Amino acid sequence: MLIIAIGSFKSLEEMLKQFKRVHVEKKAKSEDIETLSWSDTLQFPIMAGLTLCGLYFAMQYFGNDAVNYMLIAYIALGGTIGVKSMI
C-alpha cells in the first residue's frame, strides 16, 4: 500500500508541475507534454477485455488457487521492482 501511495503523490507532483508549466508560465513545448492518442484510448477496453478473458480461461484451466498464486507472485514482483527503483 505504501508504494501505491508514494507513487500517487509523485505522479500528482509531476502533473501539477506540467500543468503550471503549460497553463501558468506558457513555457511548454509540445514534446514535453505527455498525451494519449486516439488509438491509445481505443486500446484500453480491448486490453481490459483480453485480460479478463485470459483470467477466466486461466481459472478454468489451472483452477482458482493456481491463478491466485500467479497474481500474488506478479504483484510481489512489481512491488519489489518498485521499491528497488525508489531506493
Q: Give yes or no: residues 40 and 69 share one domain.
A: yes
pLDDT band at 43; cut points 50, 70, 90: very high
Q: Give yes or no: residues 30 and 50 share one domain.
A: no
Structural domain including 71 reads 36-87
pTM to 2 decimal places: 0.55
Scored b (16 or more CB within 10 A) or e, 57-84 reads eeeeeeeeeebeeeeeeeeeeeeeeeee
Q: Give yes or no: residues 50 and 24 share one domain.
A: no
Examine the pLDDT at 30 and tell me if it is beyond 70: no
* Total number of domains constituting the chain: 2
Q: Give yes or no: residues 40 and 17 share one domain.
A: no
